[in-house]
Amino acid sequence: MDTILVINAGSSDLRFQIYSVEGEGRLRQQLKGRMDGIGRCPRLRVGRAGGSPLANRAYPVEAVPDIPAAMDIAGAWLRDELHIHPVAVGHRVAHGGAEHDRPVLIDHGVMDRLERLTAFAPLHLPHNLAPIRSILASFPKLPQVACFDTAFHRTHAAVADHYAIPRTLYAEGVRRYGFHGLSYEYIAKTLSTVAPDIAMKRVIVADLGSAASMCALSGGRSVESTMGFTAIDPGVLLYLISEKGMAASEVQRFLDADCGLKGLSGISGDMRQLEASEDASAKFAIDYFVYRIGLNTGMLVAALQGLDAFVFTAGVGENSALIRSRVAEQLGWLGVKLDLTENALQSQLISSPASRIPVYVVRSDEDLMIARHTLALLMNGSSMAPS
């Protein structure tokens, strides 16, 4: 049985899934796993698609100091214990720059170009590329595919793509990229089945996870996104550097580890903890989160010149009835009304019949999107074009 391995590597964890390739190019998830606590308290956890566990093993910290070591251990476990030898590997890569508007088969030339993009995504790209480099060294003939979180947004018009800066910087790649593109691409394609009557109309998707962004879709294509090159006012960064004496690397770590919901609340970046807390700062963080979603919805409605549907996705969007309800209140000016029962049940359609705008909850599956792209490149020599 042919299988495809999908890898999503972060700074301290390595997530992976195995998909079997079945008749007519269909994919079926076989198992999912992760090596987390890399460099601190490493542990390999693997389970079958149905949820039953296959492995839960701790390792000495010196055995798994980095992503390549985690790759070696997870790969050996898959080969030696499950006898899995994938025919190809698909990778989530945070940034593809201006050049890549779709996934690409990796070779050393592609790797060289991607490594030059590290300055555009220094907190993510080095970790994304580490397993690719490891596999290239150990299994040079195994096909690998890079799937970019920026690619789906390369359909933006020039006016949405530019900052008000000299064109020389734009030519260097300083432009509004947009992120979470694999998630948005999956939602755009899934809507044709979930809600075919609105799939090609004007849709806003709120990808509310550990990082949050929103995207405006028209005709199934991205026309605007709330994320650009970064997601914070540049004046704040200048203040941190000039007044707080922080180096650029310190600013990067500060934004990644200490800001967002955690910075606002002083408690946690996990929405579940904030919802359970009675602390006023937790309430403020939730208020801010909801307010910004409402504010950005207005911007995206303007980009679309109207709105035909609103979609929640990702961890918070898929699982928090409270956040969905609070956001719907913010969108009352658009005629949004939720069915409270359907919202509590986590139904797919959660708006009431009286709502002018239908509201959906659609579960995202970035890994399946990566597997599909990988299979398409393997079978056809070219990936699916952006929606």
Q: Which SS3 state, helix, strand or coil, does residue 89 take? A: strand
Tokens encoding 155: 């359909």
> What's the CA gap between 355 and 335, in Å, rounded?
6
Q: Using CA atoms, how far apart are residues 1 and 18, in angstroms rounded to an integer?
A: 12
The CA distance from 227 to 232, in Å, is: 9
The residue from 107, 149, 197, 207 that is catalytic is 149
Tally of CA atoms within 13 A in the half-sphere of 242 that contains its CB: 6
Q: Was 380 annotated as part of a binding site? A: no
Q: Which helix (H) or strand (E) holds 301?
A: helix 280-304
Alpha-helical (H) ranges within 146-279 are 158-161, 167-172, 181-194, 234-242, 248-258, 260-265, 271-276
> 315 among the known binding-site residues?
yes
- Tell me what percent of the chain is helix, strand and coil, each rounded to the nearest 5: 45, 20, 35
Confirm whether residue 318 is marked as ligand binding.
yes
366 is in an annotated binding site: yes
CA distances from 375 to 2, 60, 110, 287 (A): 11, 36, 19, 42
Q: Are 273 and 286 in contact (CB under 8 A)?
A: no
CA atoms within 13 A on the CB side of 49: 9
Residue 332 annotated in ligand binding:
no
> Which tokens is 306 given?
């109207």
Say whether 149 is catalytic.
Answer: yes
On whether 92 is known to bind a ligand per the annotation, the reply is yes
Per-residue b or e along 336-352, where b marks 16 or more CB atoms closer than 10 Å to that residue's CB: bbbbeebbeeeeebbbb
Known binding residues for Mg(2+): 8, 366
Q: Which residues are catalytic?
A: 149
Known binding residues: 8, 92, 270-272, 315-319, 366
Known binding residues for substrate: 92
Known binding residues for ATP: 270-272, 315-319
